[in-house]
Amino acid sequence: MSTSRSTSGYRTRVVRSVEELSPQTTDLALAAGASEFYYGHEFLRAYEREPIQPVRDVYYVETYDADGTLLALTPGYVQGDPLRALGLADGELALLSHVWHCSDTQLASVVQTPAVAEAVVGALREVAAAAGLRRFGFINVPTDSPAARALAGAGLTGIDLDTRYWMDLAGMGDWDGYLATLKLKDRGEYRRQLRRADDAGVKIVERAPTRHEDPESLRIFEELMARVGSAGYYSAERIAAFLQYTQKGARIIEVTLGGDLIAKAVVFIETRKIHAWAGGYNRDPALSFSPYYVLMAAIIQLGFRVGVPILEGGRRNPAFKMRFGMVPQPLQAFMATNG
């Protein structure tokens, strides 16, 4: 553990394990308007114990004001760039917040100002230097968000990185309300796909993860990422191991036909959002329908059932997601260099 104080008077504390975090961090994400799941102890512990992408070291930066009140929590991971988005050299590692499998990085602070961001950045700079890392920063930060503005104000340079997609469930009310927002042609296509799936005898199961998920049933995630040019982004074995630590916040949706798995997703549920975190589907042309339509419908309907106002649809497949009601959210990386 290390502590330091910034020129603005904020104090930072760096620890190496979720078990060392202050009890104040338990409810920080909700107060800060950040994802309760990605910044909650369950996800952090799971990724610390069973990272889905290789992680060399983990650091957590807590930021406090002069009165000792916790303001911010910043998880930092010494990791590579599996999406080749940051221009790292082959084999180069950087200190990054959050992990690549979090598509919504925030400053996670109840006070999102450049001064707080400077304290966080200063702590990350020290950690990176001690670890012998040249680059450090934040990935998947929503463009023009309070976090993005604070990080830019602290001197980090933002670069366009990716896009994620989200949907306003609260504004639609229910499944019929959602369909009513679509163009007539698209609404008809969605209904046609679901009708064909129903006629074929598709079954949908929604459940909590078990302690022993079968990696072979998760291989469908690997296959999807390979099709979109990101082979190796997911590992079925690593996801299976990770899920044993996410019993509370994660749900699994499985779509089967004749006993065979044709689509699957892992979603995270928190107070205000359902996250479509990972998924895959069978593209067999012999099928009379698209399993992807069925899978997305099941995720959206689950969001309505649990009563959250927002669906986070993740990244990739923009044509489908925008056609069927999702809104693009550009993401940036805010990076800095030591030395």
Structure confidence at residue 17 (pLDDT): 97
In this prediction, residue 317 has a pLDDT band, given cuts at 50, 70 and 90, of confident
Residues 23, 136 within the same domain:
yes
Number of folded domains that form the chain: 2
Whether the Cβ atoms of residue 187 and residue 193 lie closer than 8 Å to each other: no
Q: Are residues 142 and 183 in the same domain?
A: no
The whole domain housing 156 covers: 2-163+330-337
| pLDDT tens profile 130-151 | 999 999 999 999 999 999 999 9
Residue 330 is predicted with a pLDDT of: 97
Residue 221 within a domain: yes
Q: What is the pLDDT, as a whole number, of residue 225?
A: 86
Helices (H) and strands (E) in the chain, counts: 10, 13
Domain co-membership, 154 together with 302: no
pTM of the model: 0.93
Question: Do 158 and 51 sit in the same domain of this protein?
Answer: yes
Cis peptide leading into 98, omega within 30 of 0?
A: yes
pLDDT at 316: 84
Half-sphere CA count of 298, side-chain side, radius 13 A: 25
Query: Is a pLDDT exceeding 60 seen at residue 124?
Result: yes
Q: Do 108 and 191 sit in the same domain of this protein?
A: no
Q: Looking at the predicted structure, is the pLDDT value of residue 117 above 70?
A: yes
pLDDT(8) > 80: no
The mean per-residue pLDDT over the stretch 6-18 comes to 88
CATH number at residue 6: 3.40.630.30
Overall average pLDDT of the 217-221 stretch = 95
Do 158 and 334 form a contact (C-beta atoms < 8 A)?
A: yes
Tell me what pLDDT residue 296 has. Answer: 96
Query: How confident is the model at residue 1, as a pLDDT?
Result: 62
Q: What is the pLDDT of residues 222-267, one digit of tens each?
A: 998 888 878 888 999 999 999 999 989 899 999 999 999 999 999 9
Give the closest residue to 303 by CA, choosing from 158, 112, 172.
Answer: 172
CB 121 within 8 A of CB 151: yes
**Could you tell me if 219 and 292 lie in one domain?**
yes
pLDDT tens, position by position, 16-63: 999 999 999 999 999 999 999 999 999 999 999 999 999 999 999 999
* For residue 339, pLDDT beyond 80: no
> 146 and 192: one domain?
no
Helix (H/G/I), strand (E/B), else coil: 14: strand
**What dihedral angle (degrees, nearest 10) is formed by the CA atoms of 306, 312, 318, 319?**
20
Q: Is there a single domain that holds both residue 140 and residue 174?
A: no
What's the CA gap between 324 and 321, in Å, rounded? 5
